[in-house]
Structures are given as C-alpha cells and as structure tokens.
Amino acid sequence: MFVCCLKPVRECQKYPGNQWLIVRKEMTRLEDSTIPDFEKYTNLKVDSSHNVIIRNSAWPREAPDSVIMFRHGTQINNVEVLENMNLGGFSIEAAHEFDNDKEFQTLRGRLRRQDVPHFGCIGANTKGHNWIWKLWKQKYLTLPSNESVLELMEATGWSKEDVIASFDPAQYDLFEATTFDNQSNLPRDFIEDKIRLKTEAPRLFNRLVMNSWDEEEESLIYGKEVNKVIAEGRLCNVPYDPSYPVYSFSDLGIDDPTAIWFMQYIGKEVRWIDYYEANNEPLAHYWKVVQNKAYAYAKHYFPFDAGSRSLQTGITTAEQARRLGWKVEVQPRVDVLPGIEFVRAVLNQSWFDSDKCRPGFEALQAYRWQKNERLSTEEHPVYHEEPIHDWSSHAADAMRYASYVIQLHKDSLYKPRTFDFPREHKKPMVARNLIYAR
C-alpha cells in the first residue's frame, strides 16, 4: 500500500502535468479502504470526483497541475473512461482481486504521457499460481516471433536489440516480504495475533503472513495427477522418435493466446514432446512454427469452433489451415467437466519433456477451480465446478481436446502407420529408445 500511495505522490510532485491512476477492483473497497488509507498516509484529501490535484510551490506559475485519479475495475474496462487518459503511471491496489492481467495490460497501454518517466506497479497478497505469480515470480513473458520483431522494428524504427530488450523479464521487479519483516512498524498486539494464526488459521497464516505462493491443494484441478507425473519421474527428457507420427492439438485464440501440444503415442505411453504458445499471431505464423519443428505429422487437431465460418472471409479456420498445408481434423465440442476427466486419465499414462513442455506443464499445475466467494471462508474454501479463465487456461484447453482424441481413438494412434514424412525424413529410419532422465 505504501508504494501504491507514495510513489504517485512523489512523481506528481516532481513532474508538473503528470497524471497517475490508482485502481481497485470494486468501488466499495476503493471508497472504504484504498482512499481512506491514501489520505491517512499522505495527508492529502481526495475530492468528490475521486481525484487529487497536486501543485508544487516550486513550479513556475504557468506549469500545469498534476492529478492522481482513483478508479475501479469496471471503469478501466470502459473505453470512454480511458479514451483521453495519457498516464505517467498507475498503481493497482490489491491486484490479487483481479482474475487475470487484462486490466494491468490495458493500463500499460496508456503509459504514454510526454515528458515524464513511466511507471506501473501493483500491490498484492499472494494467491497461488495466478497471473501475478506468472509475470513476477516465474517471469513468463511470451517472446515475439521473428516476424513480429521485424514488424516492430519497421513500426518503431528501433533496432532488433532494442525491440527484444522490451520483452526483458528483468523489467518485472518483485519485492517480497512477510508480515514479520515489517514488525518494527506494526503494533506488538497485531504481531501476536498473527502468530496465533499459525494454529488457529494455518491457511491464512501461510498466505497472508508468510507470503506463501503455494496453491490450495483442493483448488488445483490436476494437482494429484501432475504431482504423480513428477514423483514417478515422467517429467524428463522425452526425445522425438521419427519412426512414429506426431499429432498436434491446438487451442486457437484470437484475443487470447494460441496453445499447441505435440504428442507421440508409443506403446501405451502418451509422450508430450513439445509445446508452443503465442499471442496475436496469424494462422500462417503457427503453420510456420509447426513446419520448422520438422516432425513427421500424421494429423493436426483443431477445436470445434475452427469449423465455424468467418463473417469476414466466408470460410472456416480449418479451411484456411488446409490451404496453408495443414492436415486438419476438427473435433466435436468437448464439455469442460467430462473433458477434465479425459485429461486426468491421460495424465496417468503421460510423459512430458521437461524442457520443451515446461510452460505447458506448469500451466497444468496452475489450472484451478473458480472459488465461490460467497460461500468460502479463508479456512474452508468452496469452489465452483468451473475453472478460472487465466494464463493457464489455454494449455489446459488444448490438453482437454487432445485427451478426448486419445481416449476415444487411441487404437488408431497406437502403431506406426503410413504417412508423408517431411523431406528431411525421407530416409531409412531406426526406432530409438526413449531415454528417461530421472
């Protein structure tokens, strides 16, 4: 809270004409908690429009005022509210209240105020492997394709090195602290109360006092299965075997990322040899990625909506893919809950390449149920039978489509079969043993 309050004040006092936005998900919490805390720590008064006007007496008379604005999550998603905002900085208070990074990324796009440094920060409690964990703890940033880098170089006039540096995970600075790290600034009876939580409310103690990122085990949809994969040494080196075909399974995104799993079915083992994910790329980009991997493909499975015709082009995504060269089969719709059971069964016979499949596997680890906030308490959470839609959803959805095919058609995937190899594979091939790196 201190950073989210004091940083805006300092920047607005330093630079005339600066504009800073402080955000909280809900209006009631903005008015009942964030604004009163801001006024307490800064001795500044927020007006009825939820703004604070900043004027530094050292500025020239003609220098414009700076302003700190307070808004809630719904307003951030309103185009009209943000239309004329050119921010110098923003702070998201209690960012863990947001289910995904949509608002964070939206505000990043408004950091375009002239003649001031740009800065964005969040304050949050840990909440398992959510979007904050992904960006700041794991530093998973989707790197641009070569095509995207060239486009950005042309659009910005920047060098290749400067464009790539914009995606440097080091920009996501993370500062962590437990309650006890700050005890010199807190009343002793407050610290004593937090110590008692260790036995009275251990979940609350671990998350809010000790700043633990650990997930609540019962919230994890595939927790038991992925832990078993790790325990049995099935997250290891899983090389491509050119004597067997490769199948790809995609979750196609437009505004969301596209995720692709690459699998070989050998013996009774489901071998996940590769994974790829990217955002805002055309279908031709993914076809190039698939070709460059030089696997011998038997078929590419697309989700059901790839069979829907586009109002703009009049053709389906599957038809577009076939024109590019994909051997595509469109799957029927796979409902979420039955699909989850398919995945659980498949995970019990799955092996994952620990390097190439790492982002996808960790998405499966993080995939979790939506909490029922109305019925839940901190010590006794209750969950909806509905997964949270966040960064982990895309890999999980692609895995769900894959598992449907594997469970229903595994007999046709079982043996080596006749199929067209890429040119580089048109030579005698010898089956290779799978090397398990334990």
For residues 268 and 201, membership in a common domain is answered with: no
Q: How long, in residues, is the chain?
A: 438
Give me the pLDDT at residue 79, please: 67
For residues 111 and 235, membership in a common domain is answered with: no
Q: Look at residue 155 and tell me if it is in a domain.
A: no
Give me the pLDDT at residue 431, please: 33
For residues 254 and 385, membership in a common domain is answered with: yes
User: CA–CA separation, 34 vs 27, rounded Å?
Assistant: 10
User: CA–CA separation, 8 vs 202, rounded Å?
Assistant: 35
For residues 337 and 276, membership in a common domain is answered with: yes
Residue-wise pLDDT tens digits, 373-411? 777 766 677 788 899 888 899 999 999 999 999 988 766
Give me the pLDDT at residue 438, please: 29
Residue type, 6: L
The count of structural domains within the chain is 3
User: CA–CA separation, 389 vs 392, rounded Å?
Assistant: 8
CB atoms within 10 A of CB 198: 13
Last residue of a domain, one of 124, 146, 162: 124
Separation in Å, CA 188 to CA 37, 195, 197, 265, 351: 21, 11, 15, 60, 51
For residues 54 and 26, membership in a common domain is answered with: yes
Give me the pLDDT at residue 10, please: 93
Residue 67 and residue 52 in contact, taking contact as beta carbons nearer than 8 Å: yes
Kindly give the interhelix angle for 35-42 and 2-14, rounded to the nearest 10 degrees: 60
Last residue of a domain, one of 124, 155, 171: 124
Residue-wise pLDDT tens digits, 88-123? 999 999 999 998 888 898 898 899 999 999 999 999
For residues 269 and 416, membership in a common domain is answered with: yes
User: CA–CA separation, 345 vs 336, rounded Å?
Assistant: 14
Q: Look at residue 142 and tell me if it is in a domain.
A: no
Q: Look at residue 359 and tell me if it is in a domain.
A: yes
Q: Look at residue 173 and tell me if it is in a domain.
A: no
Give me the pLDDT at residue 427, please: 34
Report the candidate in 247, 285, 288 with the shortest Cα–Cα distance to residue 264: 247
Separation in Å, CA 353 to CA 262, 297, 326, 345, 346: 10, 18, 24, 19, 16
For residues 313 and 404, membership in a common domain is answered with: yes
Report the candidate in 71, 66, 124 with the shortest Cα–Cα distance to residue 99: 124
Q: Which residue has the tokens 């805002």?
A: 280
For 337, the domain range is: 223-425
Q: Which residue has the tokens 């080596």?
A: 416
Q: Look at residue 435 and tell me if it is in a domain.
A: no
pTM score > 0.85 for this model?
no
User: CA–CA separation, 20 vs 42, rounded Å?
Assistant: 15
Q: Look at residue 140 and tell me if it is in a domain.
A: no
CATH number at residue 114: 3.40.50.300
CATH number at residue 394: 3.30.420.280
For residues 247 and 352, membership in a common domain is answered with: yes
For residues 280 and 353, membership in a common domain is answered with: yes
Q: Look at residue 131 and tell me if it is in a domain.
A: no
For residues 243 and 286, membership in a common domain is answered with: yes
Enumerate residue ranges in the chain where pLDDT < 50: 417-438
For residues 232 and 201, membership in a common domain is answered with: no
Q: Look at residue 171 and tell me if it is in a domain.
A: no
Last residue of a domain, one of 210, 231, 250: 210
For residues 120 and 229, membership in a common domain is answered with: no
Residue type, 160: K
